[in-house]
A and B are shown apart, each in its own frame.
Chain A
């Protein structure tokens, strides 16, 4: 059974930094692209970032480009999101989500999310 468990969320001041983690199990982690998707309170879903199975390719939403960095550690089966220069509009629940397969960029498994609150 695929399991994705996020951690690292919390309260941070504007301009601050935070690193999210997503521990994966139940599948061959290195074989699947992984993503972060966020949801502001009471709002819809917004894709944030993607990283390929090898880690060689990554994409970012324009809203976080230059501030967030996605990475993965295959030895630990863990996905990360380093978030710098945080803004109030980054306040959201952050989900890690697994892609179904190569060239199938929809999400077949999701974690339960971790809440990030950016406020002074």
Chain B
């Protein structure tokens, strides 16, 4: 199975600042990576697919980069509604696997 490792586990950021989240795959997954945002008590929401493509309705302040084994989610100018837990998911091969998550909290 492909192991997905996210870092850091918790990121403290002030509103208006930039957040940079990392996701590493244990083997090459090309660009088969998605990012999700989950707020307390809610289902996850798709943000990014194909490592770099924003899902429908996702603001431009969210961007994804990377390929192979190293990926980054960047959130520019954090808004109050952005504070949440973020997960990466690889869909290069079964079983589909998620990273452990990064919690972005208000500093």
Which A residues fall within an 8 A CB radius of B? Answer: 35, 44-47, 50, 59, 61-62, 95, 100, 104-113
Contacts and interface: CB of A to CB of B under 8 A. Distances in A.
A106 B34 contact: yes
Closest 3 CB pairs of A and B: A105-B91, A106-B34, A110-B43
Given A107-B44, A110-B45, A44 B87 contact: yes
Main secondary structure, interface of A, reads strand
Contacts, number: 55
B94 A59 contact: yes
A80 to B, nearest CB: 19
A107 B34 contact: yes
A104 B99 contact: no
Nearest to A108: B46
Given A45-B44, A50-B94, A106 B100 contact: no
Contacts of A35: 96
Interface residues of B, number: 22
Contacts of A106: 34, 46, 49, 89, 91
Interface of B: 32, 34, 36, 38, 42-46, 49, 55, 87, 89, 91, 94-101
Nearest to A101: B49
A10 B102 CA distance: 29
A44 B5 CA distance: 12
B96 A105 contact: yes
Contacts of A109: 46
B87 A45 contact: yes
Contacts of B89: 45, 106-107
Contact of A47 (B45, B46, B97): B97
Contacts of B101: 44-45
B71 to A, nearest CB: 13
